[in-house]
Amino acid sequence: MFDEYGIPRGAEPGGADMPALYHFVYCSRAAEGIDDAEVGRIVEVAQRHNVARGITGVLVFGSGIFFQWIEGPAAQMKKLIASLHRDPRHYDLVALDQSEEERERLYPTWDMERVEADDLRVVLRDALESAEDRNNAAALKRILMQLDSGPLHALGRK
């Protein structure tokens, strides 16, 4: 028997019954026309669909940049990751981290958390310093340039 997040009932934290969780962390740039209202709709849909699939996480949006940490069963996560790559609401998607391991969830419920662009810069600069893929490094530089351009009145491509 599983709970609403796909975790076996009675699984002990850190114990032998700990489920394997796949996590995916990425950042991307919002497409033209994506605003706070649209992000609100994205979160509402995600909350409905992700609970049924055992996926939890956090979505951060600010200055036209998405940052997301999602975790759940590997098969469901791989389907979601594929759909994220096809989603026209964002571009310059950079995978910052992904792996599967036995551990407790970092985000036991789906939340949307707003952070200021300055907070996001630190995470993205760290990712750029360790980026080995040339395309990811270039996308991270474009994302940081967008953040460095100051407050944006219109989100999306410049």
**Percent of the chain residues topping a pLDDT of 90:** 26
Average pLDDT over residues 127-143: 82
Residue 77 in contact with residue 71, Cβ under 8 Å? Answer: yes
Q: Rounded CA gap, 37 and 30, in Å?
A: 13
CA-CA distances (angstroms) from residue 157 to 46, 97, 109, 153? 24, 25, 31, 12
Residue ranges and CATH numbers for the domains of the chain are 20-148 (3.30.70.100)
For residue range 57-110, what is the model confidence (pLDDT) as tens digits? 888 888 899 988 898 999 999 999 999 999 999 999 999 989 898 878 776 665
pTM above 0.85, yes or no: no
